[in-house]
Amino acid sequence: MKKIISALLFALMASTHVFADTAMNQPAQEQGKKLTKQQMKMKKCSKEAKEKKLKGEERRKFMKSCLSGKNK
């Protein structure tokens, strides 16, 4: 009987952890929330950096200037 209860408690704890982890890792848009102005700006700048195939320091500099509005 103790083994059954232990197995049920373990299964309950494991399933709760998986549910909480997947819910927190979803972007705001998938959770049914609207993106903030800053999130939309970050998404746009990130997309541009990806299209330009920027990596590392170049990407960081591009993102900084794009998010500050200097990159037009």
Q: How many domains does the chain have?
A: 2
In this structure, are 27 and 41 located in the same domain? no
Torsion-angle region of residue 32: left (phi > 0), alpha (psi -120 to 50) or beta?
A: left
Specify the long-range contacts of residues 34-43, CB closer than 8 Å, at least 24 apart. 41/66, 41/67, 42/67
In this structure, are 29 and 46 located in the same domain? no
DSSP state of 26: S
The pLDDT of residue 56 is 95
As a whole number of angstroms, the distance between CA 52 and CA 17 comes to 38
In this structure, are 7 and 27 located in the same domain? yes
In this structure, are 53 and 22 located in the same domain? no
In this structure, are 58 and 47 located in the same domain? yes
In this structure, are 15 and 44 located in the same domain? no
Q: Give residue 48's domain range.
A: 35-72
As a whole number of angstroms, the distance between CA 6 and CA 1 comes to 9
The pLDDT of residue 65 is 94
Q: What is the pLDDT of residues 12-71, one digit of tens each?
A: 777 665 555 555 666 655 667 888 999 999 999 999 999 999 999 999 999 999 999 876
In this structure, are 72 and 52 located in the same domain? yes
The pLDDT of residue 30 is 62
* pTM listed for this prediction: 0.52
